[in-house]
Amino acid sequence: MIILRYVKLPSENFEEFFNSLKQWGEINAPVKQGNIYSFKKVDSLKEVSLDYTRTMLPPKKFFVKPRDELLKLKEGKWEESNGTKPVVLFGVHSCDIHGLQILDKVYLDEPVDIYYKKRRENSIIIGISCMPDEYCFCKSLGTDFAMTGFDLFLHELPDGYLVRVGSVKGHEIVWANEGVFEPISEEDLKYFREFEEKRANSFKRSLNKEGLADMLDLAFESPVWKKYEKICLGCGNCNMVCPTCRCYEVCDLWVNAYEGVRVRRYDSCFMESHGLVAGGHNFRPTRLDRFRHRYYCKSYFDPSAGFNCVGCGRCDEFCPAKIEHVKVLDEVREALK
């Protein structure tokens, strides 16, 4: 029996390993759909695009669903909606693993969101190494490498994967598949280090986080916010795709004359209604307020969870107005000088 933190998965065993994961839950992996990638249920390795950079919706969609039924109304009482099934998220990148850990801070903090907790407990996270594209800036935020938050993490080698085991469940998966793994060699470690070095040097974008929180607080009246207020369309795409955005709206719906459901749905702080209260008072009445609010929220540094942004680049890639997160923050900093 192997009990190791690192094992090797040779290429020829990869498919067998992949198929064996089915016994742990429904496998969801990045699949190419037109121009975008999306985490979807897959049956075979063929369907999976392991060379993806980012999916449009991050894996948060498995834990906080875009439309999430919380409670069912039966004879005037709420019953808990259930239906958590085990899932295996295959091929998650380290920025998204960090994103989930930030969501954990919110949803697993007291009082615990039991829906989120159940889904988290019923999931297996298999991470995979990646190469950055022009949007990625995770390295500058320290989210380019995951030390925790996964069960297994696969690092690409010329002839397979170096696998890091990150949890008890991860060990169990390795045990159950003893035959497909091998011990790692010095050479594998050399390749691993080379890959990491090459990757570290491939980042084109970086966020200057030096004194970021204080700098932004000082820049409350910055003209840069006013410039972007005019460019931003207020569509809220950046919120939808962000792995750490989690605002939700709640709404009761009637299924038929006797049964209703309480549903939550992603909300966005770019919507005018987000800060609106009865009587018509709005705490963030202008797009300027809302644009700035998002940057403040994302740049908040929580001493126990880090920045609320993991540098995944989704908000840049999917912004119809081509607004770039790092550029906005750099300009704000520049204007302060």
Partner 1 sequence: MNPYQTYDAKILEIRELTPREKLFTLRFVDSEANKEFKYKPGQFVIVDIRGFGEFPISLCSTPTREGYIQLCVRRVGRMTKYMHTLKEGDVIGIRGPYGNGFPMEKMEGSELILVSGGLGMAPLRSVLWYAIDSGKYEHIYLLYGTKSYEDILFRDEIIHLLKHGDAIGCTVKLAYEVESPSCIYLERGFSPKVCKGVVTDLFRGMEFDVENTYALICGPPVMYKYVIKELLDRKLSPGRIYMTLERRMRCGIGKCGHCIVGTSTSIKYICKDGPVFTYWEALSTRGLI
Ligand X SMILES: Cc1cc2nc3c(=O)[nH]c(=O)nc-3n(C[C@H](O)[C@H](O)[C@H](O)COP(=O)(O)OP(=O)(O)OC[C@H]3O[C@@H](n4cnc5c(N)ncnc54)[C@H](O)[C@@H]3O)c2cc1C
Name the residues that contact ligand SF4, by CB under 6 A: 232-238, 241-244, 270, 298, 309-315, 319-321, 323, 325
Which pairs from 280-288 meet CB under 8 Å and 24+ separation? Answer: 286/229, 287/229, 287/232, 287/234, 288/225, 288/226, 288/229
| Residue 297 CB, nearest approach to partner 1 (Å) | 6
Cα 142 from Cα 311, distance rounded (Å) = 9
Mapping DSSP onto H, E and C, the string for 210-234 reads: CCHHHHHHHHHHCHHHHHHHHHCCC
Q: Which does 303 bind (CB under 5 to 8 A by kind): partner 1, ligand X, ligand SF4, none?
A: none
- Region from 83-91, 141-149, 295-303, 318-326 binding partner 1, contact rule CB under 8 A: 295-303
Closer Cβ to ligand SF4, 73 or 321, answer by number: 321
Helix H or strand E segment including 160: strand 160-165
| Residue 278 CB, nearest approach to ligand X (Å) | 3
Write the CB contacts of 264 (distance below 8 Å, at least 6 apart in sequence).
67, 68, 70, 248, 249, 250, 251
Q: Which does 51 bind (CB under 5 to 8 A by kind): ligand SF4, ligand X, partner 1, none?
A: none
Which one among 16, 197, 217, 334 touches partner 1, defined by CB under 8 A?
217
Closer Cβ to ligand SF4, 8 or 290, answer by number: 290
Cα 99 from Cα 161, distance rounded (Å) = 24
Q: Which does 254 bind (CB under 5 to 8 A by kind): ligand X, ligand SF4, partner 1, none?
A: partner 1
Which one among 75, 148, 277, 304 touches ligand X, defined by CB under 6 A?
277
278 binding ligand X? (CB under 6 A):
yes
Are 86 and 26 contacting, i.e. CB atoms less than 8 angstroms apart?
Answer: yes
**CA angle (101, 153, 156) in 5-degree steps:** 135
Burial 256-285 (b: 16+ CB within 10 A, else e): eeeebbbbbebbbbbbeebeeeeeeeeebe
Q: For the segment 76-95, give every residue that binds partner 1 (CB under 8 A).
A: 76-78, 80
List of residues contacting partner 1 (CB under 8 A)? 70-71, 73, 76-78, 80, 106-107, 109, 111-114, 212-214, 216-217, 220, 245-252, 254, 260, 262, 264, 267, 269, 273-279, 281, 283, 293, 295-297, 299-302
Q: Which residues bind ligand X (CB under 6 A)?
A: 277-278
